[in-house]
Amino acid sequence: MNISKQKKAIVLLSGGIDSATCLFIARKTHKCHCLIFDYGQRHRREIRFAESIAQKTKSPYRILKLSLPWGGTALLDKGKRLPQDRRLSRIGKDIPPTYVPGRNIIFLSIGISWAEVLGASYVYIGAHQSDFSGYPDCRKDFFEAFQKAIIKGTKAGVEGKEIEIVAPLLDKTKSEIVKMGKRLGVPFELTWSCYKGGKRPCGRCDSCILREKGFKEAGIEDPLIK
């Protein structure tokens, strides 16, 4: 990939370890602008954490309010039960109730819109398919197909100034991401993974379980559960 310091990138930032690490990868070579979505999550904590990460790296950022009033997912609908205490061997084997219909398609589409106006050449997303293969919109074949659609459907694409979707963590495991984040100086104390918005991570939801596994396998202490 021919990248240069001057080229701008949009980074989709969620407040979790993956997108934070993604930002630290992107900022090595690009001027990054962070896009944070306020889409009716169960709690505000991840938005505040995402903001802190953007501020920490002195990256300009926008928080975009987006209503998806039809719910259909345990991540937005407090009436739906979040899976908890699932065995590791179960996680990622099916499409879980935390799947948000169309989420990455929508987030990337909006990121592309901003990229086009800003003249950014890249949209970074921290998705990875290895631990979380249950989410169809985190898979390589989705990103490849979506890339083709935006080349056809944008002025930038039609004029040959392609905006590239970059998912640098796609084939990494959580522990590889933790190690990479550590090396790049990601402030893990400013990342939030838990699906719930308590004062401390619940330790029982899929996201907490995968985070714990990631830190453990990486041999690194998680500052959030000290």
In terms of CB distance, is 127 or 210 closer to its own copies? 127
In terms of CB distance, is 113 or 173 closer to its own copies? 113
Beta-bridge partners for 12: 35
When binding is defined by CB under 8 A, the residue of 1, 69, 185, 226 that contacts its own copies is 69
Return the DSSP state at 205: B
Asked if 156 and 163 touch (Cβ cutoff 8 Å), the reply is yes
3-state secondary structure of 27: coil
68 touching its own copies, by CB under 8 A: yes
Q: In the window 87-146, what residues touch its own copies (CB under 8 A)?
A: 95, 99-106, 109-110, 112-114, 116-118, 136-137, 139, 141-142, 145-146
> Which tokens is 35 given?
């896009």
153 touching its own copies, by CB under 8 A: yes
Asked if 9 and 121 touch (Cβ cutoff 8 Å), the reply is yes
When binding is defined by CB under 8 A, the residue of 150, 166, 205, 210 that contacts its own copies is 150
> Which tokens is 117 given?
């106006």
Return the DSSP state at 153: H
In terms of CB distance, is 50 or 186 closer to its own copies? 50
Minimum Å gap between C-beta 48 and its own copies is 20
Minimum Å gap between C-beta 6 and its own copies is 20
Minimum Å gap between C-beta 33 and its own copies is 10
In the block, tokens 């933790």 appear at 178
Minimum Å gap between C-beta 147 and its own copies is 8
Q: Is the dihedral of CA 11, 17, 18, 23 positive or negative?
A: positive
Minimum Å gap between C-beta 121 and its own copies is 14
Asked if 184 and 24 touch (Cβ cutoff 8 Å), the reply is yes
| Length, in residues, of the chain | 226
Closest to 32 in 3D by CA, of 56, 52, 61: 61
Binding site for its own copies (CB under 8 A): 62, 64-72, 95, 99-106, 109-110, 112-114, 116-118, 136-137, 139, 141-142, 145-146, 148-158
